[in-house]
Amino acid sequence: MPELPEVTVISEDVADLAVGREVLRAAVFRPDVTNVEQREFGRLLVGRTLRGTGRRGKIIVLDFGEVVGLVHLVISGRVLRLPEWKEPDRMNTAVLEFGGEGEPVVLAFTRLWLGYFDLYEPGEVDRHPLISRLGPDPLSEDFTVEYLASAFSRNAGVKGLLLDQSVVAGLGNIYVDEVLFSAGVHPTRKASTLTEKEIRNIHSAARDILRRAIEQRGTTFDSYHDAFGETGKFQHQLKVFTRAGEPCPRCGTEIVKSRVAGRGTHSCPACQVS
C-alpha cells in the first residue's frame, strides 16, 4: 500500500505533469468509485484548471479551485500517464485528460477497487470521513515529541498506535517496522512502558526515515510505481521489512517475522527492546 512517501511522490508527479492545465475530459468507471453521481464527475471537473496538489495522510489532494479531488489509492492503486484518452475501465478506474501546451496529458488513476476519487468543495475537505479523523502529519510542526508522548500514554501496543491514522497520519506497515527497528523498540511493546529517550528516538526515526524515503522516491516491493512508471529505491535501504531470516544489520541476529497488531511484522529479537 502506498504510504506517506509514495503518496508524496505521486502527488508531486501529478503536479509536474498537470498543474496549470485545464481538464478536457474526466470520467469514472463505476459509481462506487466517487461520492458524486457518476455522470456528474466529468461535469464537475471539465473546464477547471489543476492549481496544485498535496497530501493529507495517505490521501492525494488535487486542487481544482472550487472543486477538490481526494484520491485514496489504498492497496495497489497507481497513477499512470496514458498515451491518449481512454474510456475508464476496470483497470483504469478514473481517467482525466488535461489540455494546454503541447500534447494533452491523460492520467489514469488505476485499480481503485477499494479506493476512490471523491470530489469535495474546498471548505468541506476537513469533513471527509478519512480526513476528519487524521492525526498530525509526521513531517509537520504539530508532530512534536510532547504530542507523541501523550499519544503513547495509552495502554496499547506501540505498533498499533503508530499504524492508527488518528494518532499519526501517513505511516503504514513498512515504515512503522523500520522506525521501530531504528529506535531499538520491539513492536510488541506497550506504549505506556516507553522511556522518554525511546519516544524521542521513535519521533526522530519517523521523520528521518520518511524524509529519506521521499528522497529515494518511495519503496517498491509489490506494485508501487511513481506517475512516470518508475519504481522507488528505498527498498534497498530497508533494514528489517521483508528481511526475515537475514542477519540484523546492527547485531547479526536473525530477523524474525511475526504478527503484531494484525500485520506481518519484522523485527530483531535481540536489539529491539521488548
CA distance 100 to 69: 20
Q: Does residue 256 touch Zn ion according to CB under 5 A? A: no
Q: How far apart are CA 55 and CA 138, in angstroms?
A: 12
Q: Under a CB-based contact definition with an 8 Å cutoff, are residues 170 and 57 in contact? A: yes
Stretch that binds Zn ion, among 101-109, 125-133, 145-153, 253-261 (CB under 5 A): 253-261
For position 62 contacting Zn ion by CB under 5 A, the verdict is no
Rule CB under 5 A: is residue 125 a binding residue for Zn ion? Answer: no
What is d(CA 122, CA 63) in angstroms, rounded to the nearest whole number?
8
Q: Which residues are catalytic?
A: 2-3, 58, 263
User: What residue type is assigned to position 219 of the chain?
Assistant: T
- Determine which residue in the list 19, 24, 125, 271 makes contact with Zn ion, applying CB under 5 A: 271
Report, in Å, the least distance between residue 272 CB and Zn ion.
7
- Distance separating alpha carbons of residues 205 and 202, to the nearest angstrom: 5
- Provide, rounded to whole angstroms, the least separation between the CB of residue 207 and Zn ion: 22
The CA angle 104-106-107, to the nearest 5 degrees, is: 150
Tell the smallest beta-carbon distance from residue 252 to Zn ion (Å).
Answer: 7
CB 158 within 8 A of CB 190: yes
Q: Is the dihedral of CA 134, 55, 26, 121 positive or negative?
A: positive
67 binds Zn ion (CB under 5 A): no
Q: Considering the rule CB under 5 A, would residue 248 count as an interface residue with Zn ion? A: yes
Residues touching Zn ion, count (CB under 5 A): 7
Q: Which of 153, 235, 149 is nearest to 199 (CA)?
A: 149
Closest to Zn ion by CB, 44 or 248: 248
Kindly indicate which of the ranges 24-32, 107-115, 176-184, 241-249 contains the residues binding Zn ion, using the contact rule CB under 5 A: 241-249
Considering only residues 95, 202, 240, 268, which one is a binding residue for Zn ion as defined by CB under 5 A?
A: 268
**Residue with smaller CB distance to Zn ion, 233 or 239:** 239
Whether residue 268 contacts residue 255, with contact meaning beta carbons closer than 8 Å, is answered with: yes
| Helices and strands counted in the chain (H then E) | 6, 10
Q: What is residue 108's three-state secondary structure?
A: strand
**Stretches 76-84, 92-100, 189-197, 245-253: which one binds Zn ion (CB under 5 A)?**
245-253
Give least dist CB 253 to Zn ion, A. Answer: 5
Cα dihedral angle (87, 89, 93, 97), rounded to 10 degrees?
-10
- Among 25, 233, 250, 263, indicate the residue that binds Zn ion (CB under 5 A): 250
The reply on whether position 82 binds Zn ion by CB under 5 A is no
For the bound state, the minimum distance from the C-beta of residue 140 to Zn ion, rounded and expressed in Å, comes to 31
The residues that touch Zn ion, with contacts defined as CB under 5 A, are: 248, 250-251, 253, 268, 270-271
